[in-house]
Amino acid sequence: MNSIERIYEILKEHSGNFEGTYYIPEKWNYSGFTGYAVSKERPGEIRVDPYEFYKWNIKKYFLGREPQKSTASLSQSVIYSMMPRFCTAWPHGEDGKIQSGTFLKCMLLMPPLKQLGVNLIYLLPVFQYSSKYKKGSLGSVYSIRNIYRLDEGLHDPILDGADIRLEFKAFVEACHMLGMRVMLDFVFRTAARDSDLIYGHPDWFYWINTERESDFRLPAFKLALKKAELTPKTLKRLYEAALSSGYFDFFTQSPEKLDRVKWIHLCNDRRHGKDAFPEIVNGIGVTTAPGFSDIINDRQPPWTDITYLRLYFDQDARAKPYIKPGQPPYIMQDGASLNVFHGQYKNDGLWDYIIRVIPFYEEKYAIDGARIDMAHSLPHELCSDIIAAARKANPNFILWSEELDPKKGSQAALGGFDFISGPTYFNYKKFRQADFNDSLIGKTLLASPLPMISSLETPDTPRAAQNCKDKRYLKMMAVLSCFMPNSIPFINNGQVLMERQPMNLGLDSNAKGRYVLPKSDQMYGKLAFFDSSSLHWLRGDSIIKDALKDAISLRGQFSSLVCSKSAFVPQATFPDNRSATLLCYQGNASSVFCIANRGKKELTFSLRDVLPESVYFNGRNANVVYDGDGRCTRRVETSSPLLLGAGEIMIGTTGR
């Protein structure tokens, strides 16, 4: 019996015993379940018996099916980013209280995502996380207490008799049955400030005095508050700033060295299930140092809910002249950039702990890939060991580096990664600017040897619907993002609903960025990374979903060209290149073109005048397969005038 069959049996055992009310968004009923009721008090929702509803869906889509091996190459992939706790959260009961998303409810979304064209599911961290130092009502999924344990909050309460491991296995099985691969987001550079590792390895952390915690500040340069990347040239200035500000005085020895007797008692309490961390903080008077960005003068708020792990027992040799004898272990921007600055004495025990994580999830849950959070800040040797261990069991295991700089794609490629994050969310936001084409294509997508995600938004950025409130252009950019060279289309959960509320303020935002909704909205000011919140499932507009479905289908139809970097024609430019984007992919017998009108005025043109001769083969006819209204089949003469309205996009083919 596989995991899905076991889940089905548990639902069957409880069938007919449900008491109370259970509402779901009507949009969740993709399967055509008929055993529901409606209520005038909750329009857009339906009331179901959850056991019957989930049984129906599992039987229809998963029961008795065999896994389908994905035949899509990485370049042919379409990624859907999902934060399970958030994307299926909903106030199911009469009290209006939001209940957490679960793996069971996430399974429900897989068939419609498959129909959309998604074939790679990317899950934000699903591990046991901390409620200490939390920034919101729930705490961040990136504040990981134990990366070898799953988040019990993702257990569905209706599955009495199941455990979280079974439910996650069933989720992965469900994805595999639909031919979809599953990637997890792994965090190896940081941990929760009350990590489980503390009790066995307090020396794996950096400690500060509790009484000075509220004053903890990073050293900074006086650069008119501009951000600055730490380099060997600026290291001296950083340490001079740290010395003059008294930064090193924040740090202290680890707690077992300060009070050995009390530490032994605390560890005994811990073994008996007691939360011993408050006594470390209050009794011994120390706590783990808060985390922070590796960029000097970064506007990001401090990462007060996480702490850096001590991957080396010493500092980079270039920093040692500035350190006084007896200085307790400390961390600042150079220690957060171990790809450039690192010691000689690596923490072998911690490295081994980290290297074993991905193989553990491969063996236990059959995951297919991993995104490495802050991979660019890890030592190259550690990254290589992580990747080698991951690919030992599965040579085709997918590795994604959170590298935002296209110029550093070469380093990621040498390290063994398959693709990088890149900054396309920032480029798409500036689609109105005259240099959009060169900025996005020439200086970003084609500047990296590795493909990057083509994303209008990510879990860390402002929402695309907030950056662009005109639906015409939002639709156009969604389609265009699926045809960009050297990229993998990326859809963030909530994007097809035109969600405006961000999930986090990590990139390209500030403190005001969380207040984009009306105060009357239940999600006003709430960030999914930290707060109990849900998507606006009751919205009725499907314009982005329909556009993406068409675009992904066409991308698949022409994948031999569109998914080939070598087929892209970089010199193709539209006569009015300041307000239009022209993408061309040339093959031996046929070509694909894509023209988007980013401007505010209509464009009139003929294909003969705008397409390079090598693309239309000097032919008289072309086929238009997508225009401003969506999918179509239209034959046009290459010399005939064509009209493209403001915010519209056209896709077509030519042949010999």
**Mean pLDDT confidence for 615-619:** 88
- DSSP state letter for 284: I
Average pLDDT over residues 17-42: 93
Averaged pLDDT, 252-272? 90
Per-residue confidence (pLDDT) for residue 232, from 0 to 100: 82
| pLDDT on residue 608 | 94
Please, which residues have CB within 8 angstroms of residue 452's CB and are 6 or more apart in sequence?
Answer: 406, 409, 419, 420, 421, 422, 424, 444, 445, 486, 487, 488
Confidence of residue 300 (pLDDT cuts 50, 70, 90): low
Instruction: Choose the weakest-confidence range: 150-164, 233-247, 351-365, 421-435.
Output: 233-247
pLDDT tens digits for 521-575? Answer: 999 999 999 999 999 999 877 899 999 999 999 999 999 999 999 999 998 888 8
Residue in 162, 121, 218 with CA at minimum distance from that of residue 1: 162
Residue 283 φ/ψ region, left for φ over 0, alpha for ψ in the -120 to 50 degree band, beta for the rest:
alpha
Q: What is the pLDDT of residue 67?
A: 86
- Residues 50-70 have pLDDT tens digits of 999 999 999 999 998 888 888
Given its phi and psi angles, is residue 557 left (phi above 0), alpha (psi -120 to 50 degrees) or beta?
Answer: alpha
Please tell me the distance from the alpha carbon of residue 264 to that of residue 353, in angstroms, as a whole number.
23
Of 629, 631, 623, 622, the closest CA to residue 645 belongs to 629
Question: What pLDDT is recorded for position 224?
Answer: 45
Distance CA 116, CA 542 (A): 12
pLDDT at 297 over 80: no
Fold of 569-655: Immunoglobulin-like (2.60.40)
What is the number of residues in the chain? 656
**Secondary structure E strands in 304-430:** 306-308, 369-373, 398-401, 419-420
In the chain, what percentage of residues exceed pLDDT 90?
82
State mean pLDDT over 175-190: 97
pLDDT at 489 over 60: yes
For 617, left (φ over 0), alpha (ψ -120 to 50), or beta?
left
**CA dist., res. 29 & res. 27, Å (int):** 5
* Model pLDDT, residue 618: 87
What would the pLDDT profile of 70-83 be if each residue is shown by its tens digit? 888 999 999 999 99
So what's the pLDDT on residue 539? Answer: 86
pLDDT of residue 223 exceeding 60, the answer is no
Burial 463-474, CB ≥16 within 10 A → b, else e: bbbbbbeeebbb
Element holding 266 (H helix, E strand): helix 260-271
| CATH H-level, domain 74-192+351-554: superfamily | Glycosidases (3.20.20.80)
pLDDT(129) > 70: yes
- The confidence score (pLDDT) of residue 435 equals 94
Domain boundaries, the chain: 74-192+351-554, 197-337, 569-655
**Mean pLDDT, range 388-416, rounded to an integer:** 94
